[in-house]
Amino acid sequence: MLCASRSFCCLGTRTYQLRTDLLSRSIKLSASDTMAFRHKNTRRIEGLDNNVWVEFTKVAADPSIVNLGQGLPDISPPSYVKEELANVAAVDRLNQYTRGFGHPSLVKALSQVYERVCGRKIDPLTDILVTVGGYGSLFSTIQALIEEGDEVIIIEPFYDCYEPMVKMAGAKPVFIPLRNKNDGNCASSADWVLDPGELAKKFNSKTKAIILNTPHNPIGKVFTREELQVIADLCIKHDTLCISDEVYEWLVYKGKKHIKIATLPGMWERTITIGSAGKTYSVTGWKLGWSIGPQNLIKHLQVVHQNTLYTCPTPLQEALARAFWIDYKRMDDPDCYFYSLSRELESKRDRMAQLLREVGLKPVIPDGGYFMIADVSTLNVDLSDVDGNQPYDYKFVKWMIKSKKLSAIPLSAFCGPETKGQFEKYIRFCFIKEDSTLDAAEVILKNWTKQTD
């Protein structure tokens, strides 16, 4: 028993138990003679240090490079969003801690918006957790519900953090690729589909969850109701959870509709739906996201949250709540930012596709999101000068950055080891960019075939 009980004396008299306690403890510890530093990282982060972003964002920080790589809007957020933050900055008490699981006015606003979208009652205090970005929601969900012995199905290509997060939780990722059923010139993200038979085989008694991303990054696929039903049927049959990453939910283009898998019968009770302020309002630097789901699941995410970072920043949450109220009130109005942003982006999407075609690339036209992939192998670029031991697309992007001053992201960063061969001819472009950025990209792409040194 290490802790001798004692009473504190009043008014500043000190106790001097430290020396005795620590020394008596040290006698019990085995002394080590070696001075070699034995501390390495824990098993849970073994092998998780590499990251495509660390590699490519550094490169793209060079201002002479036209950056269509990282998913970073260079367009301005709507002015009222910036104004609300400025208003909030003036309120003293909003500079201190708020409610851990989510600032009250924000969770209230979120519950209103999503009640309307989902057509069901959502309790702001028990069914919502506010997190540090969609990323933080993914982390909280996986830490709360996934562990050693579990398998988690991940659809390829996937947002790259899914795999390391599942591994960090001690579970086994099980991959299934989207397959292009149409190799022609007018490829659309809708052509990339899951094979239902193949998907069914991936489910077993160990399958704890499937991670769904719709609209999909990087392909831009918006899963149809029928496709979601196939997934839902399997989740219900195998009693599996669904982690639905819907950060691009508002970025859906003409003719398509975003459907929340949580609204399908039997799915609310087993689904965590993730959203993002960064993607909704073009404020990726606010790093606010949320998880919505049934209380019996969200409560576990809240436990993770209270043991990881406890609360998210107050002023940003308050400003976000105010922005949400503005748009909630006009959800029937086409000027609502949730709809106007996707209209703005659709024309950028079309422009991007046109530019890529002119260079001889075959872009896959996305139905949603703000990324576009293109097969670059058709250009037959000579990559022999580029450092050898990497996938084709990594080499291509590095060559393109160096010789064309244009950056993108290699698609093989978004797939598991088995399918690198399938995806390494594609690269991903981000088109949520100002006209001036797209203009600069246009110059590069139009001059592509000219000789460069």
Partner 1 sequence: MSRPVQARRLEGVDKNIWVEFVKLAATYSTVNLGQGFPDFPPPDFLKEAFTRALSGEKHMLHQYTRAFGHPPLVKILAQLFGKLLGRELDPMTNVMVTVGAYQALFCCFQAFVDEGDEVIIIEPFFDCYEPMVKMAGGTPVFIPLRPVFSREELELIADLCVKHDALCISDEVYEWLVYDGKEHVRIASLRGMWDRTVSIGSAGKTFSVTGWKVGWTVGPNRLLQHLRTMHQNSVYHCATAAQEVVAQGFQREFERYGKPDSYFVQLPKEMQQKRDQLVQSLVAVGMKPIIPEGTYFLVADISEFKSDVPDVPNSDEPYDSRFAKWMVKNKGLAAIPLSAFYCGPHKNNYNSFIRFCFAKEEATLKAADDILQKWKLEKTTP
Q: Which is nearer to partner 1, 124 or 133 (CB)?
A: 133
For residue 4, give Cα distances in angstroms to 13, 17, 21, 50, 161. Answer: 17, 8, 8, 47, 47
Contacts of 19 (CB under 8 A, 6+ apart): none
* Binding track, positions 6-25, relative to partner 1; x by CB under 8 A: --x-xxx-xx-xxx-xx--x
Q: Which of 153, 169, 247, 374 binds partner 1 (CB under 8 A)?
A: 169
**Separation between Cα atoms, residue 260 and residue 225, nearest integer Å:** 9
User: Does position 346 bind partner 1 by CB under 8 A?
Assistant: no
Chain residues 366-405 in contact with partner 1, contact rule CB under 8 A:
none
Q: Which is nearer to partner 1, 45 or 200 (CB)?
A: 45
Q: Which of 106, 122, 165, 445 binds partner 1 (CB under 8 A)?
A: 165
User: Does position 63 bind partner 1 by CB under 8 A?
Assistant: no
Select the span of 31-39, 217-225, 258-266, 357-365 touching partner 1 (CB under 8 A): 31-39
Would you state the torsion angle of the CA atoms of residues 82, 87, 89, 94, taken in this order, to the nearest 10 degrees?
A: -120
Pick from 164, 193, 163, 188: which is nearest to 177 by CA?
193
Q: Which of 271, 314, 407, 437 binds partner 1 (CB under 8 A)?
A: 314
Q: Do 446 and 439 touch, CB atoms closer than 8 A?
A: no
User: Does position 333 bind partner 1 by CB under 8 A?
Assistant: no
**Separation between Cα atoms, residue 119 and residue 228, nearest integer Å:** 18
Q: How far is the CB of 48 from partner 1 (least distance, A)?
A: 5
Q: Which of 27, 42, 121, 184 binds partner 1 (CB under 8 A)?
A: 42
Chain residues 186-215 in contact with partner 1, contact rule CB under 8 A:
none
Using left for φ > 0, alpha for ψ between -120 and 50, and beta otherwise, residue 310 falls in left
User: Does position 153 bind partner 1 by CB under 8 A?
Assistant: no
Q: Which is nearer to partner 1, 25 or 257 (CB)?
A: 25
Would you state the torsion angle of the CA atoms of residues 308, 313, 316, 318, taken in this order, to the nearest 10 degrees?
A: 100
Q: Which is nearer to partner 1, 284 or 412 (CB)?
A: 284
Q: Which of 55, 59, 70, 196 binds partner 1 (CB under 8 A)?
A: 70
Chain residues 353-372 in contact with partner 1, contact rule CB under 8 A:
none
Select the span of 137-145, 221-229, 388-396, 412-420 touching partner 1 (CB under 8 A): 137-145
User: Does position 306 bind partner 1 by CB under 8 A?
Assistant: yes
User: Does position 36 bind partner 1 by CB under 8 A?
Assistant: yes
Q: Which of 67, 105, 111, 143 binds partner 1 (CB under 8 A)?
A: 143
Select the span of 160-168, 183-191, 219-227, 419-427 touching partner 1 (CB under 8 A): 160-168
Chain residues 117-136 in contact with partner 1, contact rule CB under 8 A:
132-133, 135-136
Select the span of 69-77, 246-254, 323-331, 420-428 touching partner 1 (CB under 8 A): 69-77
Helices 314-328 and 104-118, packing angle to 10 deg:
40
* Binding track, positions 233-272, relative to partner 1; x by CB under 8 A: ------x-x-------------------------------
Q: Which of 54, 183, 226, 255 binds partner 1 (CB under 8 A)?
A: 54
User: Does position 313 bind partner 1 by CB under 8 A?
Assistant: yes
Binding-site size, partner 1 (CB under 8 A):
100
The two tokens of residue 68 are 């269509």
Q: Which of 204, 308, 354, 447 binds partner 1 (CB under 8 A)?
A: 308
Q: How far is the CB of 37 from partner 1 (least distance, A)?
A: 7
User: Does position 416 bind partner 1 by CB under 8 A?
Assistant: no
